[in-house]
Amino acid sequence: MVLKGTVTALVTPFKDGLVDHESLRKLVEFQISSGVQSLLACGCTGEPATLSDLEKLEVIQTILEASNGRVPVIAGTGTNATASTVSFTEAVCSTGVDSILIITPYYNKPTAQGQIAHYTAVADASRKPVIIYNVPGRTGTDMSIDTIARLGEHPNIIGVKDAAGSVERVTQLRSMSSMAYMSGDDHLCLSQVLMGGSGVISVTSNVAPSLVSRMIQLGLNGKVIESRELHEALYPLFKVLFIESNPSPAKKALQLMGVIASDMLREPLVPLREESIHILRGVLELMELV
Protein backbone atom coordinates (compact mmCIF):
# COMPACT_ATOMS: atom_id res chain seq x y z
CA MET A 1 0.00 0.00 0.00
CA VAL A 2 1.24 3.52 -0.88
CA LEU A 3 0.51 5.87 2.03
CA LYS A 4 -0.02 9.25 0.40
CA GLY A 5 -2.60 11.95 -0.18
CA THR A 6 -5.83 12.36 1.79
CA VAL A 7 -7.09 9.63 4.10
CA THR A 8 -10.43 10.32 5.77
CA ALA A 9 -10.66 9.23 9.41
CA LEU A 10 -14.31 8.25 9.17
CA VAL A 11 -16.86 8.99 11.86
CA THR A 12 -18.96 6.04 13.01
CA PRO A 13 -22.64 7.02 12.62
CA PHE A 14 -25.09 5.84 15.27
CA LYS A 15 -28.87 5.60 15.30
CA ASP A 16 -30.99 4.50 18.25
CA GLY A 17 -27.81 3.61 20.10
CA LEU A 18 -26.51 1.22 17.41
CA VAL A 19 -24.09 1.61 14.52
CA ASP A 20 -25.97 3.07 11.55
CA HIS A 21 -24.56 0.99 8.72
CA GLU A 22 -26.79 2.64 6.11
CA SER A 23 -25.39 6.08 6.93
CA LEU A 24 -21.88 4.64 7.04
CA ARG A 25 -22.26 3.28 3.51
CA LYS A 26 -23.55 6.67 2.36
CA LEU A 27 -20.56 8.37 3.98
CA VAL A 28 -18.14 5.99 2.24
CA GLU A 29 -19.74 6.74 -1.14
CA PHE A 30 -19.54 10.48 -0.46
CA GLN A 31 -15.84 10.16 0.30
CA ILE A 32 -14.90 8.05 -2.70
CA SER A 33 -16.92 10.12 -5.16
CA SER A 34 -15.17 13.22 -3.79
CA GLY A 35 -11.71 11.89 -4.58
CA VAL A 36 -10.04 10.89 -1.31
CA GLN A 37 -7.18 8.43 -1.60
CA SER A 38 -8.00 6.12 1.30
CA LEU A 39 -10.36 5.53 4.24
CA LEU A 40 -9.62 4.91 7.91
CA ALA A 41 -12.05 2.82 9.93
CA CYS A 42 -12.08 3.03 13.72
CA GLY A 43 -9.52 5.75 14.16
CA CYS A 44 -10.09 8.11 17.11
CA THR A 45 -12.69 9.99 15.05
CA GLY A 46 -14.62 6.71 14.74
CA GLU A 47 -15.04 6.44 18.54
CA PRO A 48 -13.42 3.01 18.88
CA ALA A 49 -13.07 3.39 22.65
CA THR A 50 -16.85 2.98 22.95
CA LEU A 51 -17.25 0.25 20.33
CA SER A 52 -17.09 -3.44 21.18
CA ASP A 53 -14.66 -5.60 19.21
CA LEU A 54 -17.63 -7.09 17.35
CA GLU A 55 -18.94 -3.63 16.46
CA LYS A 56 -15.51 -2.59 15.23
CA LEU A 57 -15.29 -5.66 13.01
CA GLU A 58 -18.76 -4.92 11.64
CA VAL A 59 -17.84 -1.28 10.94
CA ILE A 60 -14.68 -2.37 9.13
CA GLN A 61 -16.61 -4.94 7.11
CA THR A 62 -19.25 -2.38 6.08
CA ILE A 63 -16.55 0.05 4.91
CA LEU A 64 -14.79 -2.71 2.97
CA GLU A 65 -18.03 -3.76 1.30
CA ALA A 66 -19.08 -0.20 0.49
CA SER A 67 -15.68 0.78 -0.89
CA ASN A 68 -15.45 -2.47 -2.88
CA GLY A 69 -11.75 -2.17 -3.60
CA ARG A 70 -11.98 1.34 -5.08
CA VAL A 71 -9.69 2.82 -2.41
CA PRO A 72 -7.47 1.26 0.26
CA VAL A 73 -8.99 0.79 3.71
CA ILE A 74 -6.94 1.24 6.89
CA ALA A 75 -8.24 -0.06 10.22
CA GLY A 76 -7.41 1.23 13.68
CA THR A 77 -6.75 -1.74 15.96
CA GLY A 78 -4.71 -0.28 18.80
CA THR A 79 -5.44 -0.57 22.52
CA ASN A 80 -3.39 0.28 25.58
CA ALA A 81 -2.36 -3.37 26.05
CA THR A 82 0.07 -5.08 23.71
CA ALA A 83 -1.54 -8.51 23.98
CA SER A 84 -5.04 -7.29 23.10
CA THR A 85 -3.67 -5.12 20.28
CA VAL A 86 -1.88 -8.11 18.78
CA SER A 87 -4.91 -10.38 19.01
CA PHE A 88 -7.35 -7.83 17.59
CA THR A 89 -4.91 -6.89 14.83
CA GLU A 90 -4.66 -10.54 13.82
CA ALA A 91 -8.45 -10.75 13.63
CA VAL A 92 -8.76 -7.58 11.56
CA CYS A 93 -6.05 -8.67 9.13
CA SER A 94 -8.40 -11.48 8.09
CA THR A 95 -11.07 -8.98 6.93
CA GLY A 96 -9.19 -7.78 3.88
CA VAL A 97 -8.05 -4.35 5.04
CA ASP A 98 -4.97 -2.90 3.39
CA SER A 99 -3.16 -1.56 6.44
CA ILE A 100 -3.36 -1.21 10.22
CA LEU A 101 -3.16 1.97 12.32
CA ILE A 102 -1.85 1.52 15.87
CA ILE A 103 -2.27 4.27 18.45
CA THR A 104 0.41 4.81 21.07
CA PRO A 105 -0.71 2.99 24.24
CA TYR A 106 -2.78 5.42 26.29
CA TYR A 107 -2.98 5.77 30.07
CA ASN A 108 0.03 3.48 30.64
CA LYS A 109 2.48 6.18 29.45
CA PRO A 110 5.17 3.74 28.22
CA THR A 111 8.79 4.82 27.89
CA ALA A 112 10.50 4.83 24.51
CA GLN A 113 11.63 1.28 25.20
CA GLY A 114 8.03 0.28 25.95
CA GLN A 115 6.80 1.97 22.78
CA ILE A 116 9.37 0.09 20.72
CA ALA A 117 8.44 -3.21 22.37
CA HIS A 118 4.72 -2.58 21.74
CA TYR A 119 5.00 -1.62 18.09
CA THR A 120 7.54 -4.31 17.33
CA ALA A 121 5.26 -7.00 18.75
CA VAL A 122 2.30 -5.74 16.70
CA ALA A 123 4.32 -5.31 13.49
CA ASP A 124 5.77 -8.81 13.88
CA ALA A 125 2.28 -10.29 14.28
CA SER A 126 0.44 -8.26 11.65
CA ARG A 127 -0.05 -9.66 8.15
CA LYS A 128 -0.72 -6.12 6.92
CA PRO A 129 1.54 -3.03 6.92
CA VAL A 130 1.47 -1.00 10.14
CA ILE A 131 1.16 2.77 10.60
CA ILE A 132 2.23 4.36 13.89
CA TYR A 133 -0.25 6.85 15.36
CA ASN A 134 1.22 9.46 17.69
CA VAL A 135 -1.48 11.64 19.27
CA PRO A 136 -0.22 12.95 22.63
CA GLY A 137 -3.32 15.07 23.19
CA ARG A 138 -5.36 11.87 23.57
CA THR A 139 -2.82 9.39 24.90
CA GLY A 140 -0.78 11.47 27.35
CA THR A 141 2.44 10.24 25.73
CA ASP A 142 4.45 11.87 22.94
CA MET A 143 6.68 9.68 20.78
CA SER A 144 10.02 11.21 19.92
CA ILE A 145 11.20 11.41 16.33
CA ASP A 146 14.15 9.20 17.30
CA THR A 147 11.74 6.47 18.45
CA ILE A 148 9.56 6.79 15.34
CA ALA A 149 12.58 6.64 13.05
CA ARG A 150 13.91 3.58 14.86
CA LEU A 151 10.56 1.84 14.46
CA GLY A 152 10.60 2.81 10.78
CA GLU A 153 13.46 0.36 10.34
CA HIS A 154 10.99 -2.49 10.88
CA PRO A 155 10.09 -3.92 7.47
CA ASN A 156 6.37 -3.98 8.28
CA ILE A 157 6.06 -0.37 9.51
CA ILE A 158 5.39 1.95 6.57
CA GLY A 159 4.61 5.31 8.11
CA VAL A 160 3.41 7.50 10.93
CA LYS A 161 0.34 9.62 11.55
CA ASP A 162 1.72 12.39 13.73
CA ALA A 163 -0.59 14.70 15.66
CA ALA A 164 2.07 16.34 17.80
CA GLY A 165 1.36 19.83 16.45
CA SER A 166 4.78 20.56 14.97
CA VAL A 167 5.83 21.28 11.39
CA GLU A 168 9.49 20.88 12.37
CA ARG A 169 9.02 17.17 13.02
CA VAL A 170 8.57 16.52 9.30
CA THR A 171 12.06 17.80 8.56
CA GLN A 172 13.49 15.94 11.53
CA LEU A 173 11.99 12.62 10.42
CA ARG A 174 12.95 13.07 6.77
CA SER A 175 16.58 13.44 7.83
CA MET A 176 16.41 10.08 9.62
CA SER A 177 13.91 7.88 7.78
CA SER A 178 12.20 7.33 4.43
CA MET A 179 8.91 6.29 6.07
CA ALA A 180 5.75 8.18 5.11
CA TYR A 181 4.83 11.13 7.33
CA MET A 182 1.07 11.69 7.46
CA SER A 183 -0.22 14.78 9.23
CA GLY A 184 -2.70 14.25 12.03
CA ASP A 185 -3.36 17.98 12.46
CA ASP A 186 -5.71 19.35 9.81
CA HIS A 187 -4.76 22.99 10.36
CA LEU A 188 -1.06 22.14 9.85
CA CYS A 189 -1.37 19.52 7.14
CA LEU A 190 -0.58 21.72 4.14
CA SER A 191 2.50 23.18 5.85
CA GLN A 192 3.65 19.65 6.69
CA VAL A 193 3.09 18.45 3.12
CA LEU A 194 5.04 21.40 1.74
CA MET A 195 7.86 20.49 4.13
CA GLY A 196 7.99 16.97 2.69
CA GLY A 197 5.09 15.16 4.35
CA SER A 198 3.15 12.51 2.45
CA GLY A 199 -0.39 13.71 3.17
CA VAL A 200 -3.02 13.85 5.89
CA ILE A 201 -5.26 11.50 7.85
CA SER A 202 -8.05 13.99 8.27
CA VAL A 203 -11.14 14.78 10.30
CA THR A 204 -12.13 17.68 8.05
CA SER A 205 -12.27 15.52 4.94
CA ASN A 206 -15.36 13.84 6.43
CA VAL A 207 -17.15 17.12 5.73
CA ALA A 208 -15.21 18.60 2.78
CA PRO A 209 -13.45 15.66 1.12
CA SER A 210 -13.04 17.18 -2.32
CA LEU A 211 -11.55 20.43 -0.98
CA VAL A 212 -9.11 18.73 1.40
CA SER A 213 -8.07 16.21 -1.23
CA ARG A 214 -7.50 18.91 -3.84
CA MET A 215 -5.48 21.02 -1.40
CA ILE A 216 -3.22 18.12 -0.50
CA GLN A 217 -2.73 17.07 -4.13
CA LEU A 218 -1.79 20.63 -5.07
CA GLY A 219 0.65 20.73 -2.16
CA LEU A 220 2.22 17.42 -3.13
CA ASN A 221 2.62 18.75 -6.68
CA GLY A 222 4.38 21.89 -5.45
CA LYS A 223 1.51 24.23 -6.33
CA VAL A 224 2.10 26.48 -3.34
CA ILE A 225 -0.11 29.46 -4.17
CA GLU A 226 -3.09 27.38 -5.29
CA SER A 227 -2.87 25.04 -2.30
CA ARG A 228 -2.53 27.98 0.09
CA GLU A 229 -5.71 29.54 -1.30
CA LEU A 230 -7.59 26.33 -0.49
CA HIS A 231 -6.02 26.20 2.96
CA GLU A 232 -7.23 29.72 3.67
CA ALA A 233 -10.73 28.80 2.47
CA LEU A 234 -10.75 25.67 4.64
CA TYR A 235 -9.22 27.25 7.74
CA PRO A 236 -12.55 28.26 9.37
CA LEU A 237 -13.72 24.66 8.96
CA PHE A 238 -10.47 23.31 10.42
CA LYS A 239 -11.08 25.40 13.52
CA VAL A 240 -14.83 24.92 13.97
CA LEU A 241 -14.62 21.13 13.69
CA PHE A 242 -12.68 21.19 16.95
CA ILE A 243 -14.88 23.73 18.73
CA GLU A 244 -15.85 20.83 21.03
CA SER A 245 -14.47 17.31 21.36
CA ASN A 246 -13.96 15.48 18.07
CA PRO A 247 -16.04 13.96 16.46
CA SER A 248 -19.06 15.84 17.83
CA PRO A 249 -18.74 18.83 15.44
CA ALA A 250 -18.01 16.61 12.42
CA LYS A 251 -21.06 14.45 13.12
CA LYS A 252 -23.33 17.46 13.46
CA ALA A 253 -21.94 18.90 10.22
CA LEU A 254 -22.55 15.64 8.35
CA GLN A 255 -26.08 15.49 9.72
CA LEU A 256 -26.77 19.09 8.64
CA MET A 257 -25.41 18.19 5.18
CA GLY A 258 -27.72 15.16 4.98
CA VAL A 259 -24.88 12.64 4.72
CA ILE A 260 -25.66 10.81 7.98
CA ALA A 261 -28.99 10.48 9.75
CA SER A 262 -27.99 11.46 13.28
CA ASP A 263 -25.31 13.30 15.24
CA MET A 264 -25.55 10.72 18.03
CA LEU A 265 -22.37 9.88 19.93
CA ARG A 266 -21.53 7.31 22.56
CA GLU A 267 -21.25 8.73 26.06
CA PRO A 268 -19.24 10.23 27.64
CA LEU A 269 -19.22 12.26 24.41
CA VAL A 270 -22.40 14.27 23.89
CA PRO A 271 -23.85 16.29 20.97
CA LEU A 272 -22.84 19.90 20.40
CA ARG A 273 -24.28 22.70 22.51
CA GLU A 274 -26.72 25.02 20.73
CA GLU A 275 -24.26 27.92 20.66
CA SER A 276 -21.64 25.70 19.00
CA ILE A 277 -24.21 24.45 16.45
CA HIS A 278 -24.95 28.07 15.54
CA ILE A 279 -21.27 28.78 14.92
CA LEU A 280 -20.80 25.54 12.97
CA ARG A 281 -23.84 26.18 10.79
CA GLY A 282 -22.51 29.65 9.98
CA VAL A 283 -19.20 28.23 8.72
CA LEU A 284 -20.95 25.53 6.69
CA GLU A 285 -23.23 28.14 5.10
CA LEU A 286 -20.29 30.42 4.37
CA MET A 287 -18.54 27.55 2.58
CA GLU A 288 -21.79 26.56 0.79
CA LEU A 289 -21.69 23.07 2.30
CA VAL A 290 -25.31 23.28 3.46
Question: 132 near 157, Cβ under 8 Å?
Answer: yes
Cα–Cα nearest to 290, from 249, 259, 263: 259
The CA distance from 96 to 74, in Å, is 10
241 alpha-carbon distance from chain centroid: 14
pLDDT tens per residue across span 60-109: 999 999 999 999 999 999 999 999 999 999 999 999 999 999 999 999 99
Q: Cα separations (Å) of 91 from 73, 75, 111, 258?
A: 15, 11, 27, 33
Dihedral of the CA atoms 266, 267, 268, 272 (nearest 10)? 70
Residues with a known catalytic role: 133, 161
Contact 30, 13 (CB under 8 A): no
Q: How many CA atoms lie within 13 A of 141 on its CB side?
A: 18
Give, in words, the CATH class of 5-223. alpha beta
Query: What is the phi/psi pair of residue 78, to 5°?
Result: -80, 150
pLDDT for res 140: 92
Closest CA to 198 of 212, 217, 214, 185: 217
Domain boundaries, the chain: 5-223
290 residues of the chain, pLDDT tens digit each: 889 999 999 999 999 999 999 999 999 999 999 999 999 999 999 999 999 999 999 999 999 999 999 999 999 999 999 999 999 999 999 999 999 999 999 999 999 999 999 999 999 999 999 999 999 999 999 999 999 999 999 999 999 999 999 999 999 999 999 999 999 999 999 999 999 999 999 999 999 999 999 999 999 999 999 999 999 999 999 999 999 999 999 999 999 999 999 999 999 999 999 999 999 999 999 999 99
The answer to whether 45 touches 11, Cβ cutoff 8 Å, is yes
Residue-level pLDDT at 2: 86
Please tell me the distance from the alpha carbon of residue 240 to that of residue 237, in angstroms, as a whole number.
5
